[in-house]
Amino acid sequence: MTRLSVNINKVATLRNARGGSIPDVQRFAADCERYGAQGITVHPRPDERHIKYSDLLPLKNIVQTELNIEGYPSEHFINIVLDIKPHQVTLVPDAPDAITSNAGWNTVEHQHFLHDIIIRFKNAGIRTSIFIDPITERIVHAQQTGTDCVELYTEAYAVNYSINREKAIENYVQAAATAHAHGLFINAGHDLNLENLKFFNERIPHLDEVSIGHALICDALYYGIENTIQMYLQQLK
C-alpha cells in the first residue's frame, strides 16, 4: 500500500494567523499518525509563514513514522536538516518568495549542485528525495545525483485530470517506470485530492508515498481530520 504523508503546513498557517500555540502542530501531527497517517511532511520557508524552524526539533521528537522536511537547500536549510536529522529530506527548487512549489528540479543543469548536497545528507544517514517533473531525461539525471527517491510534481496531472485523465497521467507512468528501472523510490505530491488520488495510485507502478497537505486539510474542515485521513487511505488501497 502506498504510504500517506500528511503535510501540516496549513495547520501552522492557522496557528500563526492568531499567534500563540492553537492549533498545536505537534499534537496535530501525533493525531494524524494515530488516525493512520504513515508520515508527516513539513516545508519551512525563509519567512516562516507557516512551519517555523523552531517547530522542527519538537516534531522530530514526537513523530513515530516518518518526518519528511522539504525545502530549498540553502546553507541555512542544510545545516538545520543536518542538525535535526529527519527520516527524509525532499529538495525543492523554490524561490524564497514562492507561495507554493511550482516546478521540479532541472537535474541536467543542477546535477552537480544536487550531488554535492545529497552526499552531505546521506553521510548523515538521511534519506534524500528530489522534487521533479515527469520528464524522462531528468529522472535519469536524478539517479546520477545519488538521491534515494524522486517526488513527482503532480500539478499538471491534477489540472488535466478532469479533462482527460488518461492523457494527464501518461508522462507520470513513463517517469515512474524510468525511476524504478534506475533504482529510485517514487514519491508524489502537489494538488492530489480525493477526486484524483485513486486513479493516480492505480496507474503509477511502484508508488511508495504521496505527500498531501492543502486538499487534505481543507477536506478535514468538513469531515474532521480522523475521517479525512481514513478517506485518503481508502483511495490508496
Show which residues are catalytic: 43, 70, 190
Euclidean distance between CA atoms 59 and 69, whole angstroms = 10
Torsional class of 66: left (φ above 0), alpha (ψ -120 to 50), beta (otherwise): beta
- Which CA distances in Å does 88 have to 29, 177, 187? 16, 22, 12
Q: Coil, strand or helix: which one is 86?
A: coil
Residue 158 dihedral angles phi and psi, to the nearest 5°: -65, -40
Report the amino acid identity of residue 105.
Answer: W
**C-alpha to C-alpha distance for 169 and 160, rounded to whole angstroms:** 9
End-to-end CA distance of the chain: 6
> In the numeric block, which cell numbers belong to residue 169?
497521467
